[in-house]
Structure 1
């Protein structure tokens, strides 16, 4: 299998990079653009969806969009670590991968204001912004939209890996959609279940109380900076969260993969701080052998030559 900078087959990476060039693509359009059959493109799209690199477009449910690299690639690396496998990247390819992630995370936010960017999809804008969050994110969700940012597992995975507090308030009508209910159940299993309000007047994501993305009825994203509007939005979010009801139908299933995430996250952070295996084990209350297994998995997935390099690369790649 020919590997590339993403660790995907060459055809899959070509398709993914093409998807990044526009807000959304239909299968036939992609087939013409990459000179492959529609059947081959459909099969590759499904594989990319399974890897969390592609999703349905919220603007057009018959089209597909690329999940932003700053969200998708750290998730790809994290899965490799949890599964004890490597993406097969050489040191040069690993550095190129990390650089691609960093460029994506630093992409000009002008697109969020609709100022000439060629990818103004709301979910893409939110993914780039979430990659910069330091403390907490609050989602306000007035309705269900297939492919919408509020129902994105990669966004939640990124936040959980980085130790961000995630909150979501959904209008009661959202829970009527089967796909939304499935996502709510998954969120509950990650210990971040959404709360329910009779009505949510605005679709928005608020980051660290310092900025927000508001989505209007035309699905156009708009950035909200510090000022009266942001203060009002933050106050609204707090009221809705405090008054929001827990949904009794959501079951929290013990023993899910989410339980592994905090330990691996802390191991990576402590590696970056230069702690020894013994010190990490004492800090986390687990065995040295467990820590060494986590360190080995991190070094393999990141193709790092040393423990410290593994921690540094994990930080650069957006894993912590």
Structure 2
């Protein structure tokens, strides 16, 4: 029987020749076996086998008489009945598929849970995040972009990172004016956390000790839930993604209302205070004056004055020229670690990053 995809009769179980024979008989008067074989251009044996299959499917009727003749059954009723039987068979097959899937899930779900956890509610995400953060003992890698999912903001107790854990965070520049982000980043850098800014991040992500990773199901919809990944291969890939973003991001040091100690720089570095350097560094990441002012806890006018003074010292006419000249001369080196940081870390755990 020909049931290939180009056979229009295959869906009801007929071969190509059987379907063609039925089409001929539906538009012709009753005919005997020999006439049908001659019309179809086949042997009487082939025609007889096809007629027998059509009769078994109730699609043709044998009319008694010498010689016996054959005629098509009324197509609407005969084909309708055949299609109804096919639908019943398909429904049974679908039911069987559902039973097989349920049996598969019953066995596979426990194994899958060891690779990926699905957190469907915000409170589940916050609780699991805090647990993973507090159990980390080596490093936490963090990509932060809005919208954020954090623990209950009415609570004054933030998740903490244990002393000695290296915390590296990259924040998306556009979302870095958020009050929660600024406060968390400021506290994190104050206790030795490393912060960088990037104009665009591929996703939100937290990697804990390169053993587990937390990321949203849909980055634009926090309410859609989160995933906790335990698969070694997937966590390694996510950590590699973080490292690539980290290398391309711009270092930033945020501290509200505080003057930082001198930054490292070349021997030709002008006598700028720490605030000017910090403003210029944030400006180099693409942050606007208002965002820089909020990040540093100063006024917009203060930011503009520092930028203007830097431009005068460099002989630059535009902010773009300031950024180019400062970068070319390497005058925004890294800030040295403060001696008080180690003592502060020993006294208290560091606050965890935004999620």
The TM-score bracket by the shorter chain reads 0.3 to 0.5
**TM-score of the two chains, using structure 2 as the length reference:** 0.36
Larger Rg, first or second structure (1 or 2): 2
Which protein, 1 or 2, shows the higher relative CO under an 8 Å CA cutoff with sep ≥ 6?
A: 1
